[in-house]
Each structure stands twice: as C-alpha cells, then as structure tokens.
A and B are shown apart, each in its own frame.
Chain A
C-alpha cells in the first residue's frame, strides 16, 4: 500500500517569502495522478495543482508543482497573506497528512 508523507508538518514563513512543501510517496507513482489542494479553516479543500505540475483553473502563477517518481514539490514563489493554510497532496484515493503553512 502506497503512503504519501508530507513535510514539514508545519512551515512558518513571512509574507513575500518562498514556500517549498514536499510530498514523498512510499513507492513510485505516476506524476499524471499527483495533485495538491489548499484548505483554509472552515472551508472545503480547493484543487491547486494536478498532474504534478498543471495549475487548476483560476490558480495564480505563484503556485507551481514539480516532481516525479516518489518526490513531489509544491512551491509558492512569493507568499501572500491568503496563502496561509493547510496543503494536502493526493494520489487517487490517498491523501498526505498535510502541511500547515503559518505566518511567522
């Protein structure tokens, strides 16, 4: 059974900084089926990235995804105040445990 492990658990950064979030799979997965979601308190998750690197409709270009095999990365180039949230990676029915991005 594949496990998706996200790191770090919590990332403390300031607006304007660059954020790098990691998602590691316990065995190689197809990059075509790796997605990232953002969830803010009290809200449903929102699709950000699919196919490891394609932005969903309406997602700003400061969000980018990369990776292949077992290692995938979500990068936010310059943090805006509204970007502080929890981020999940997903592959089919599996979710990572999430990374909380908090304001430093």
Chain B
C-alpha cells in the first residue's frame, strides 16, 4: 500500500531553516511527483510547490520563491522540503502528498504531517 512517512516535529527560531523529509513506499517513486502543502493553525490548505521525482524539476509557489527548496533522493525514495529564513507565520503543519497527474491532477496520498513551530 502507498505510504508517505514524514519526519518529526521541529521547533525553530526566527531566521533559522528547517528541512522536512517524506519517505515514500508502496509505489514506483519516480513515476509520480511530490507536492508540499502547509496548514497554519486553524487555517486552510496552502500549496507550497511540487517536485518531479523523475527528473527533479520543481515549481514553487510565488510567495515562497527564494526561501524554499524541494529535492528528492531516488535511492531512498525520499523527498525533502527545506524552508529558510523562518518567520513566525511559517508555523504550520507541513504535509507531503503524492501528485497524481496520470489520473486527474490530484493529491491522492498524504503524509501524516510535520508540525513546524517558529518561536523565539
């Protein structure tokens, strides 16, 4: 069965960086992209960007350009999301999700989420 397992919660100070991992299993990793979606406390879902696990191509949300980097390690079927220059409004649960364009441009499987808290 498809599973995405994310790394644990993080507490960071403003200005620091965080790197969240997402280990995939149960499918051919390079056949699908991985998207990252975040959710601030009590708020809705915000798409952060996408990476092709096939060739590493990326597409980032405009508001995060310059602060976010998404990468993959195909040898371990793991995706990573690094966010730099953290601010208090980056406090959120960060989700990875499999991006399925084969069916209909959907996030068909999700990780369990990683809480990132930014606080001085």
Contact = CB atoms under 8 A, between A and B. Distances in A.
B44 A47 contact: no
Contacts, number: 56
B111 interface: yes
Contacts of B103: 50-51
B112 A90 contact: no
A86 to B, nearest CB: 8
Given A45-B110, A88-B45, A33 B95 contact: no
B89 interface: no
Interface in B1-51: 35, 37, 44-47, 50
B113 A44 contact: yes
A46 interface: yes
Interface stretch (A15-23, A71-79, A91-99): A91-99
Nearest to A94: B47
Contacts of A51: 103-104
14 contacts: A32-B105, A37-B107, A44-B95, A44-B97, A45-B95, A45-B110, A47-B108, A50-B103, A93-B47, A93-B61, A94-B47, A96-B44, A97-B44, A98-B45
Interface centre among A37, A44, A91 (most CB of B within 10 A): A44
- State the 3 A-B residue pairs at the shortest beta-carbon distance, nearest first: A44-B110, A93-B47, A95-B45
Interface in A50-66: 50-51, 54, 56
The interface size bin for chain B is 20 to 34
Contacts of A93: 35, 47, 50, 61
Contacts of A35: 104-107
Interface in B31-87: 35, 37, 44-47, 50, 61
Nearest to A46: B110
A44 B44 contact: no
